[in-house]
Structure 1
Amino acid sequence: MFFYIAIIVLIYVLVHALWQPFKYWKRRNIPQLKPTPLVGNFGPLLRRQCSIAELVQDIYNSHPNHRYFGAYQFFLPTLVLKDPELIKKVAVKEFDTFPEHRTVALEEVDSLLASNIFFMKGKRRRAGVMGGCYRFAGGEKWHVLRCALSPAFTSSKLKAMFALMQECAQQFVEYFENQTGVITLEMKDAFTRYTNDVIGSTAFGITCNSLKDRDNTFYAMGLQATSITLFRGLRVFMQTISPRLAKIFQLSIVPKFIETYFVNIIRESISIRKEKGIVRPDMIHLLLEARQGRLKYDDVGEDSGFAIAQESEARKSHGALKASITDEDIAAQAFSFFLAGFDTSATAMCFAAYELAVNCDIQRRLQSEIDTSLASNQGEITFEAVLGLAYLDQVVSETLRKWPPITFTDRKSVAPFTIEAKLPHEQTTHFEAGTVCWIPIYAIHRDSLYYPNPGVFDPERFHKDNLHKIKPGTYLPFGMGPKNCIGESIE
């Protein structure tokens, strides 16, 4: 009898323990999406009933009359933000309270991944200003790196890199020009090889021709670094849900041999440059310049186009910031740009190609603009000419709206915060430190409240005369605020 009672008690305790996390929002009188035991609201994704984009859309649509509500990423309580004003509050206005993304890469396990600026943590404690950029007490490296890196993506720096990108584009075109007959290709493979070559040249200082040399080591390592397998997915899950166990069992997301390969490329490149006095207009050179305090904003105001980054005034420094940047830091940032651009840029190109194929009128208009530009530049593609292609910018911007490279992003609070009541059914709510806020980018981009006929590919949304119609906080292909994608302009 005692044995049966013990089993019943044990079952009750286990069930209670499993369900307890899923009462988090209900205990705080916040509406929540009904969770499923163990998986929260991610069940359909795990059962392969939908894509991550469809899941984001379904979660977003579940509470049509709410500015925010609760959901669960497995056991993790997550505050879903739908209102653009709340998104701006979290991503920009109260950045001091939300300076971090949710932990994905642990420094003790994935040192290279955790050392890039996207995953770095940094609690902003303003201790003064130097050269127009904040100086931070406590050595928060994210802020130093962000301030040091931002000038690397202004027009003059990108113009210097443009020649490297142009070489890769020329290789891409020549490969297909040399083909005979009907060309059949898998677009994702072709564009991935192109982005691989561009990143290899601009971030790592190496030259590849991945369409011609299809099995080159850099491309093969890139595929392994970015492929999402079940095994790697489980490791990400463990680092997110149980960091302690991930540290104990050393469950790294990126295999050590891949880390070693990319770090060695950077070290060898830096060594050769120092030894032979080589100057190459790529990211390694810019980061070495930042290390020496020679990198500065020298072209504020030159950037144009809706799809090009606009950094905050605090980081648009006319002075130079000398940053404590190690070779490992340079390797980490180069690796982060590889991860950020390898698949996402290729995917964006695929969607752009698809939309141009099914919207022939848009394709013809874009072709006409490009032909006119080439004719006026003696057949040459220049940096200034590309910036002058207004309709191309509209096409790219609309592609990123309809098919954003990331379907959602997040922020994590490091201090308590409050959301004031605004709608009749709301009440002023206080949230504790450590709250994870979810920004459903894909769903916001397809909300008819902000974009009429959101399923229609319409570059005219981004015509200069229509930009005032785009509500701030509703166009987020690269995120928003100081934690947005720093490489927005190069992509």
Structure 2
Amino acid sequence: MLLLIWIVVLTAALVLYFKRKYSVFTKYGVKNLTPVPLLGNGLSIMLGREHVVDNLNRIYQMYSEERFFGQYEFMNPVVVIRDIELIKQITIKDFEHFLDHKTMVDGTIDPLFGRNLFSMKGEEWKDMRSTLSPAFTSSKMKLMLPFIVEVGDRMIESLKRQIKKSDDKQLDIEAKDLTTRYANDVIATCAFGLKVDSIAEENNEFFRMGKILTNFGLIFFLKFFLFTYFPSLSKMLNVKMFSEETAVFFKSLFLNTIVDRKKNNIIRPDMIHLLMQAQKGNLVHEEKTKDIDAGFATVDESAIGTKTVNREWSDVDLIAQAVLFFLAGFETVSTAMTFAIYQMAVSPDIQERLVKEIKENEAQNGGKFDFISIQNMVYMDMVVSEVLRLWSPAVALDRICTKDYNLGKANDKAPKDYIIRKGDVVQIPNWAIHRDPKYFPNPMKFDPERFSDENKHSIVPFSYMPFGLGPRNCIGSRFALCEVKVMLYQLLLHFEIQPCERTCIPPEFVPGKFNLGLKGGNWVRLKIR
């Protein structure tokens, strides 16, 4: 009897606890789906019933009349912003109230992840942003373009060899594997000064370490859960996001390269050279008029990123930035390139128009291209801009509230304003906004004409955000755009891209996954032109 009483009391206590925990939004009239205790609103994703972007899209559309709505990430409230004006306030006007990203790891435990630009917070982030921003101008990217072209040349040669060996003179490729290997080699040369051929040498050490580093499987998810909800325990257990093997590899590679360059007075216009300059305080901000327009999707640096900083950074701080550069290129840029290839395969008319522009550029420049000429390719920029709208690699943007902030009422019937508290999370669902017919008519149609000179001015400001918004936007947008355009240029110049029997038409994501992989893989067919 006593046991039964305790069970009833404990059950009642748990019910009351969860009721209070999951009633944050109710009293403010903020709509949200009923959460599952402990798991919040992510059960369909965890059970493999729904992909994360399909889940986000579904709920976004469900609350079409709301300025914002609520979600529960396990037991933590997350405010999802729909209203464009409110997005502008959060990312620009009242940026100081939403300065930071969510904390994933402790920088003292795992500095390679916790000390990078994405994870840094407050004034320290501002200082690092200002230190690094001169490294990502168009003039710096211009110097790196020959390294990217060299990687592309090796890729083209390797693919041609494989096609010539085949009986039917064609090659079916998994585009994500190809673009990941390409991006890996670009990072190897542009960030670490290494010459790697990941297509010819499939299991080279640099690529293998990259695969380990970006393995976002069950172990990664469990670590993320531990970091998020039990930070003290994860610190006590010394849990790290990266394995010791990968940490030692990247530290040794970076430091040995620096030692070799100093010893032999080697100057190579890549990321390691720029980081070495940044450490000495020798990176100088350029006049804005000197910067080259890298395309419609490019984001500009804010005043925060252009201030002068007199601060010394440790070797570990610089390694962390190089690793972040690696992660961004290995996963997000390769995803953009993958869907660019996919769209060329399923949009032959668009492919041929882009090929025509590429051939005209080849004829005009005598078979060569540089940073300026590729930025002058109008249709190329239209195509890439549309790829980044429909297939944005960053599904959502997050910000942590650093000072209590009044978001106003969620809807016309809400009883009172919602005050978001310090430490709570806001999310901007850019994937869903990019597919909202209110901002992009017939949103599921791949239509580069949205970004023509005649049409792009009608795009609602702050509705297009593939590289984020405000001072905390993506510092590497120019590099990413350049890399995607160069790959498309070289690939389409030499190959016709077609669908094959394994091409996923219509596109459908694998349920339960966080990466943007299509069911059965991202397969296409290549034929030599």
Q: Contact 2:29/2:413 (CA < 8 Å) preserved in 1? A: no
Q: Contact 1:203/1:337 (CA < 8 Å) preserved in 2? A: yes
The Cα shift of 1:28 comes to 3.6
Q: 1:74 aligns to what?
A: 74
Q: 1:342 aligns to what?
A: 330
The Cα shift of 1:422 comes to 8.6
- Aligned equivalent of 1:244, options 217, 229, 232: 232
**Pair 1:213 & 2:201 matched:** yes
**Pair 1:254 & 2:242 matched:** yes
CA distance in 2, matches of 1:68, 1:238: 28
Q: Structure 2 vs 1, CA of residues 349 and 29 (structure 1 numbering), >3 Å: closer, same or farther?
A: same
What is the SS of the residue equivalent to 2:173?
coil
**Pair 1:460 & 2:449 matched:** yes
Q: Contact 1:286/1:295 (CA < 8 Å) preserved in 2? A: yes
**Pair 1:162 & 2:151 matched:** no
User: Matches of residues 132-171 of structure 1 in structure 2 within 5 Å?
Assistant: 140-171=123-154
- Aligned equivalent of 1:478, options 455, 467, 472: 467
% same residue: 38
What is the SS of the residue equivalent to 2:37?
coil
The Cα shift of 1:410 comes to 0.7
The Cα shift of 1:276 comes to 0.5
The Cα shift of 1:316 comes to 4.0
Output the amino acid matched with 2:127. V
User: Matches of residues 104-253 of structure 1 in structure 2 within 5 Å?
Assistant: 104-122=104-122, 140-179=123-162, 180=164, 181-253=169-241
Output the amino acid matched with 2:79. L
Q: Structure 2 vs 1, CA of residues 16 and 245 (structure 1 numbering), >3 Å: closer, same or farther?
A: farther
TM-score by length of 2: 0.86
Q: 2:297 aligns to what?
A: 307
Q: Structure 2 vs 1, CA of residues 413 and 312 (structure 1 numbering), >3 Å: closer, same or farther?
A: same
What is the SS of the residue equivalent to 2:41?
coil
**Pair 1:401 & 2:389 matched:** yes
Output the amino acid matched with 1:429. Y
The Cα shift of 1:390 comes to 1.2
What is the SS of the residue equivalent to 1:20?
helix
Q: Contact 2:383/2:448 (CA < 8 Å) preserved in 1? A: yes
Root mean square deviation of aligned Cα: 1.6
- Aligned equivalent of 2:281, options 293, 297, 302: 293
Deviations 1:88-132 (A, max 9, x none): 11112111111111111222432210000101111xxxxxxxxxx
CA distance in 2, matches of 1:242, 1:90: 28
Q: Higher mean Cα deviation, 323-332 or 410-419? A: 323-332
What is the SS of the residue equivalent to 1:411?
strand
The Cα shift of 1:369 comes to 0.5
Q: Contact 1:80/1:438 (CA < 8 Å) preserved in 2? A: yes
The Cα shift of 1:249 comes to 2.2
Deviations 1:225-251 (A, max 9, x none): 001111111111111122122222223
Q: Higher mean Cα deviation, 358-367 or 286-295? A: 286-295
Q: Higher mean Cα deviation, 476-485 or 74-83? A: 476-485
What is the SS of the residue equivalent to 1:39?
coil
Output the amino acid matched with 1:373. N
The Cα shift of 1:198 comes to 0.3
The Cα shift of 1:303 comes to 2.5
Q: 1:125 aligns to what?
A: none
The Cα shift of 1:486 comes to 0.9
Q: Contact 1:294/1:321 (CA < 8 Å) preserved in 2? A: no
What is the SS of the residue equivalent to 1:77?
strand
**Pair 1:284 & 2:272 matched:** yes
TM-score by length of 1: 0.93
- Aligned equivalent of 2:417, options 418, 422, 428: 428
**Pair 1:274 & 2:262 matched:** yes
Q: 1:51 aligns to what?
A: 51
Q: Higher mean Cα deviation, 213-222 or 417-426? A: 417-426
Q: 2:21 aligns to what?
A: 21
Output the amino acid matched with 2:458. K
The Cα shift of 1:349 comes to 1.1
Unaligned runs of 5+ in 2: 481-529
The Cα shift of 1:421 comes to 4.5
What is the SS of the residue equivalent to 1:185?
strand
What is the SS of the residue equivalent to 1:71?
strand
Q: How many residues align structurally?
A: 472
Q: Contact 1:300/1:316 (CA < 8 Å) preserved in 2? A: no
Q: 1:9 aligns to what?
A: 9
Q: 1:128 aligns to what?
A: none
Output the amino acid matched with 1:336. L
CA distance in 1, matches of 2:462, 2:345: 30
Q: Contact 1:114/1:120 (CA < 8 Å) preserved in 2? A: yes
CA distance in 2, matches of 1:220, 1:306: 34
Output the amino acid matched with 1:145. M
What is the SS of the residue equivalent to 1:156?
helix
CA distance in 2, matches of 1:294, 1:38: 50
Q: Contact 1:308/1:488 (CA < 8 Å) preserved in 2? A: yes
What is the SS of the residue equivalent to 2:22?
helix
Q: 1:445 aligns to what?
A: 434
CA distance in 1, matches of 2:393, 2:329: 9
The Cα shift of 1:322 comes to 4.3
Output the amino acid matched with 2:467. F
Q: 2:523 aligns to what?
A: none
CA distance in 1, matches of 2:129, 2:233: 31
**Pair 1:371 & 2:359 matched:** yes
Could you list the structure 1 runs, at least 4 aligned residues long, displaced by more than 4 angstroms after superposition.
Answer: none
Q: 1:97 aligns to what?
A: 97
What is the SS of the residue equivalent to 2:23?
helix
What is the SS of the residue equivalent to 2:24?
helix
Q: Contact 1:19/1:37 (CA < 8 Å) preserved in 2? A: no
**Higher-RCO chain (CA-CA 8 Å, sequence separation at least 6):** 2
CA distance in 1, matches of 2:411, 2:32: 17
Output the amino acid matched with 1:342. F
The Cα shift of 1:299 comes to 4.8
Unaligned runs of 5+ in 1: 123-139
What is the SS of the residue equivalent to 1:297?
coil
